[in-house]
Amino acid sequence: MQSDLEATLAHLVSIPSVSNNPAACQEILSYIKSEIEQHTLFISGDTDRESPWLIATTQDTKEPDILFAAHLDVVPADAAMFTMKKEDGKLLGRGVYDMKLAATSYLHFIRQHSKTLSQLNVGFLFTTDEEVGGFSTLAMLEMGWRPKLVFIPDGGDNWQIEELAKGLYGIELIARGKTAHGSRPWEGDNALHRILDVTTELRQLFPHQQPDDATLSVTQLTGGAAINQIADYASAKVDFRSFHKEDLALFYAELTQLTEKYGLEFTITQGGAPHIFDKSTDTAKRFLALLENTTGKPVEYTRSYGGSDARHFAEYDIPCIVIEPFGGGRHSDHEWLLASDLPRYYSLIETWALQQKFSAMSNHASAFHRQPSLS
Ligand SMILES: [Zn+2]
């Protein structure tokens, strides 16, 4: 018989919530909302948009001790992948690993511990735009949400904690020039040449392309209309990544200076800080101890060259724990999750969350000070 956890995961997988399918994103978020509204939670967010999101906390605060984050959107897949299957002890389907297993665990927790929620100080975030930039996570942070720690199972494969993830800049450069006949370049202003000069100079500043380096890649180049015409417009896209905040700052400073020198415009289309796992907090220490109990071995760590929504929290110096159970094939047509890891993973989250008791004194000390004196 299918367990409750598997049934919930199968239902979430059955909603084809591809990031650019607003109807399905609405449907999946409405389902989550209708489920959690049955429990004592403080719910806010923005559900009236193409990429709806919501946050539910056990206390009336924007600073929960742990925020459990999950994106509900997935990358495209064949229709068959939206029916979850179980084969050879594996759960197969779009989103089983990336990352509907998280929303499944959170929903199950809320249902199982409905009566205990008010004694805890945790929150749950559900978004539908991670695969296309995670802008709702940014919006939430701009609205003043400041969780003390965020749990995001969106990396850190096979029970390894993501120790480091690169920060990034996605930049679009635009050059505007003046058209002329190709035979008379002095009468025009070649936008393509200026774009090429800037990207060449940037590449010379960051020439390294090895995994641990700061890497710079020109990923798109457009411009020009005919072989014998000077281009009056050109654009380039550049992807920059590094494990170090200083590299990102250096890149930004150089970019600003070069675009000024060559008269280019630029816009940041994506950004985020490097994520560095912070082992020092009590909440993280409790998690590490429980993780060792679960796996029966010392904690293992991994590094990520890609990004998740952790980068947005890192911008605000909010620590994150990024870890997933055993599975794989994210974004591929054979995405899978080890079936027996779903209850194991849930138990780990459950035990950890239940330890996060709400304490009025420690969490709202400043609020007490603002109370008028009774004497
Ligand atoms: Zn993901």
Residues 147-169 have a mean pLDDT of 94
Give the side-chain half-sphere CA count within 13 A for 48.
1
In the structure, what pLDDT confidence band is assigned to residue 53 with cuts at 50, 70 and 90?
Answer: very high
Q: What's the CA-to-centroid distance between 374 and ligand 1, angstroms?
A: 51
> How remote is the CA of residue 199 from the centroid of ligand 1, in Å?
30
Where does residue 80 rank: exposed (0-12), middle (13-18), buried (19+ CB within 10 A)? Answer: exposed
* Cα 290 from Cα 257, distance rounded (Å): 49
Beta bridge partners of 120: 357
Quote the ligand 1 centre to 87 CA distance (angstroms).
23
Q: 63 C-alpha vs ligand 1 centroid, how far in Å?
A: 24
Instruction: Report the separation in Å between the CA atom of 96 and the middle of ligand 1, taken as the mean of its atom positions.
Output: 10
* C-alpha angle 209-262-198 in degrees, rounded to nearest 5: 15
**Average pLDDT, stretch 19-48?**
95
Q: Which amino acid is at 192?
A: L
pLDDT reported for residue 1:
65
Ligand 1 centre from 72 Cα, in Å? 9
Average pLDDT, the chain: 93
Per-residue DSSP letter, 183: T
**175 neighbors 190 (Cβ within 8 angstroms):** no
Q: Which residue in the block uniquely carries the two structure tokens 């109370």?
A: 371
User: Residue 231 and residue 233: Cα distance in Å, rounded?
Assistant: 6
217 phi/psi in degrees, rounded to 5: -130, 130
Does the pLDDT of residue 45 top 90, yes or no? yes
359 against 88, higher pLDDT = 88
pLDDT tens digits along 288-330: 999 999 999 999 999 998 878 899 999 999 999 999 999 999 9
User: What's the farthest any 2 CA atoms get from each other in the chain?
Assistant: 89
User: What is the pLDDT at residue 361?
Assistant: 57
Q: Which two tokens stand for residue 287?
A: 């998690």
Cα 313 to Cα 134: distance, rounded to the nearest angstrom: 11
Distance 263 CA to ligand 1 centre (A): 38
Question: What is the chain's length?
Answer: 375
Distance 73 CA to ligand 1 centre (A): 8
Could you tell me which of 146, 132, 160 has the C-alpha nearest to residue 309? 132
Mean pLDDT of 215-226: 96
- Angstrom CA distances, 203 to 170, 196, 218, 254, 320, stand at 15, 10, 9, 11, 32
Selection from 201, 238, 197, 202 nearest residue 217 by Cα: 238
* pTM summary value: 0.86
Residue type, 94: R
Closest CA to 218 of 232, 197, 233: 197
The Å distance, Cα 130 to ligand 1 centre, comes to 7
In the sheet that holds 275-276, the strands lie side by side as: 275-276, 160-165, 300-304
Q: Helix crossing, 22-36 with 100-112: angle to 10°?
A: 20
227 alpha carbon – ligand 1 mean position (Å) = 43
